């Protein structure tokens, strides 16, 4: 089917990102669960991206985090830097503009400029005792992170069960590996851009082309400012719809390795709005997920066959894999 690009109205796209309503997965009978599983398998095998609706995360929970994060990013630079660990992206806390260059995580992007983004990152559910940094203000931030995280865990459980059904594995196949999952919440603020902003003419993107490193990413794309594009297997870049009631899901590298290339970890990027017109700020709520650190990632039993489809990757622990990616993607790689 042909569809007009969201990013550029002049470009005709040959692919589209599937939108899947998963509301009947938990309550439906076997036939309905298999139907959704088949849709999921097709989405992850082709685009590696889908937009889910009917996910059950209340809009109020999403909006509270969006509002609290917006308040944080509106603070003066000095105040935000009080939450910065100065160790690059990956350790938690505030990461100012100029530090992250995500495209450097791929060999073809080794010389990429820094992304036009600042981040606030959490790794432990917003628990002030465990987070490396939990900003004291705005006061609404900590409870908003904790509530959002709780709903992300429920969404993650549903996605892993849906994936098991899609791959013809027992529905609880991933339960043990996700009892103590390794998740991160990245609040990503792409500042408003002036019509002829210097960063834009230097070739920098809001977020350079990359793949995500671990399991599924659950992304709340700003409904007021799209810009996310996914790359299809034939090289075409396709706009990912920013639906107010949708969550964008994409498979990360560990999913591709785990499924022995049955599912794709697709490159994706956040384009700048066209030069010449001012662009509003954009705020993404990005929840990266993955199995427990010690999980060995090797071809799932339904994705490998010693004769017809041998394993393509050497086994690797989830932790080793993530550390390698993080080392490559900070502008100061010594950190």
* 114 neighbors 102 (Cβ within 8 angstroms): no
Q: How far apart are CA 32 and CA 35, in angstroms?
A: 5
Q: Which does 186 bind (CB under 5 to 8 A by kind): ligand AKG, Fe ion, none?
A: ligand AKG
User: What residues from 104 to 163 belong to the interface with ligand AKG (CB under 6 A)?
Assistant: none
Task: Residue 173: count other Cβ atoms within 10 Å of its Cβ.
Answer: 18
Report which secondary-structure segment, H or E, holds 200: helix 198-201
CA angle at 177 for the pair 48 and 253, rounded to the nearest 5°: 30
Phi, psi of 83, deg, nearest 5? -100, 10
User: What residues from 268 to 297 belong to the interface with ligand AKG (CB under 6 A)?
Assistant: 268, 270, 284, 286
Q: Judged by CB under 6 A, which of 174, 207, 237, 258 binds ligand AKG? A: 207
> Residue 50 or 228: which CB sits closer to ligand AKG?
228
Q: Which does 218 bind (CB under 5 to 8 A by kind): Fe ion, ligand AKG, none?
A: none
Kindly state the smallest distance separating residue 203's Cβ from ligand AKG, in Å. 18
Q: Judged by CB under 6 A, which of 182, 186, 189, 262 binds ligand AKG? A: 186
> Residue 83 or 214: which CB sits closer to Fe ion?
214
User: What residues from 216 to 235 belong to the interface with ligand AKG (CB under 6 A)?
Assistant: 219, 221, 228
* 248 neighbors 266 (Cβ within 8 angstroms): no
Phi, psi of 32, deg, nearest 5? -70, -40
Kindly state the smallest distance separating residue 30's Cβ from ligand AKG, in Å. 35
> Residue 100 or 212: which CB sits closer to Fe ion?
212
If binding means CB under 6 A, how many residues of this protein chain bind ligand AKG? Answer: 11
Residue 213 touching ligand AKG (CB under 6 A): no
> Residue 221 or 289: which CB sits closer to ligand AKG?
221
> Residue 33 or 186: which CB sits closer to ligand AKG?
186
Task: Residue 202: count other Cβ atoms within 10 Å of its Cβ.
Answer: 10
> Residue 73 or 207: which CB sits closer to ligand AKG?
207
* 268 neighbors 240 (Cβ within 8 angstroms): yes
Closest CA to 193 of 276, 269, 76, 70: 276
Classify residue 45 by its DSSP letter.
H
Q: How far is CA 109 from the centre of its chain?
A: 19
Q: Which residues bind Fe ion (CB under 5 A)?
A: 212
Q: Which residues contact 34 (CB under 8 A, 6 or more apart)?
A: 165
Kindly state the smallest distance separating residue 168's Cβ from ligand AKG, in Å. 29
> Residue 28 or 98: which CB sits closer to ligand AKG?
98
Interaction site with ligand AKG (CB under 6 A): 186, 188, 207, 212, 219, 221, 228, 268, 270, 284, 286
């Amino acid at each position: 089917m042909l569809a007009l690009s969201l990013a550029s109205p002049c470009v005709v796209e040959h692919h589209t990102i599937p939108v899947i309503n998963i509301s009947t997965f938990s309550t439906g009978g076997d036939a309905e669960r298999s139907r959704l599983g088949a849709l999921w398998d097709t989405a992850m095998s082709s685009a590696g991206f889908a937009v889910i609706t009917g996910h059950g995360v209340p809009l109020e929970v999403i909006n509270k985090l969006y509002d609290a994060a917006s308040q944080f990013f509106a603070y003066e630079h000095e105040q935000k830097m009080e939450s910065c660990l100065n160790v690059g992206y990956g350790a938690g806390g505030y990461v100012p503009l100029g530090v992250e260059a995500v495209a450097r995580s791929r060999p073809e992007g080794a010389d990429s400029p820094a992304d036009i983004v600042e981040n606030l990152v959490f790794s432990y559910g917003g628990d002030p005792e465990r987070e490396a940094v939990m900003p004291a203000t705005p006061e609404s931030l900590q409870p908003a992170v904790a509530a959002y995280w709780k709903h992300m865990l429920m969404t993650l459980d549903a996605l892993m069960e849906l994936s098991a059904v899609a791959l013809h594995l027992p529905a609880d196949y991933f339960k043990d590996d996700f009892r103590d999952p390794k998740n991160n919440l990245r609040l990503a603020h792409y500042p408003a851009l002036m019509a002829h902003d210097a960063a834009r003419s230097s070739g920098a993107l809001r977020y350079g082309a990359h793949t995500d490193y671990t399991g599924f990413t659950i992304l709340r794309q700003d409904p007021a400012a799209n810009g996310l594009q996914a790359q299809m297997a034939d090289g075409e870049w396709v706009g990912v719809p920013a639906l107010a009631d949708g969550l964008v899901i994409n498979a990360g590298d560990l999913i591709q390795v785990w499924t022995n290339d049955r599912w794709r970890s697709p490159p994706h990027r956040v384009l700048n709005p066209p030069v010449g017109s001012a662009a509003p700020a954009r705020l993404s709520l990005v929840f990266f997920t993955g199995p427990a650190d010690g999980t060995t990632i090797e071809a799932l039993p339904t994705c490998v066959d010693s004769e017809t489809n041998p394993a393509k990757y050497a086994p690797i622990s989830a932790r080793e894999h993530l550390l390698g990616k993080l080392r490559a993607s900070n502008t100061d790689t010594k950190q």
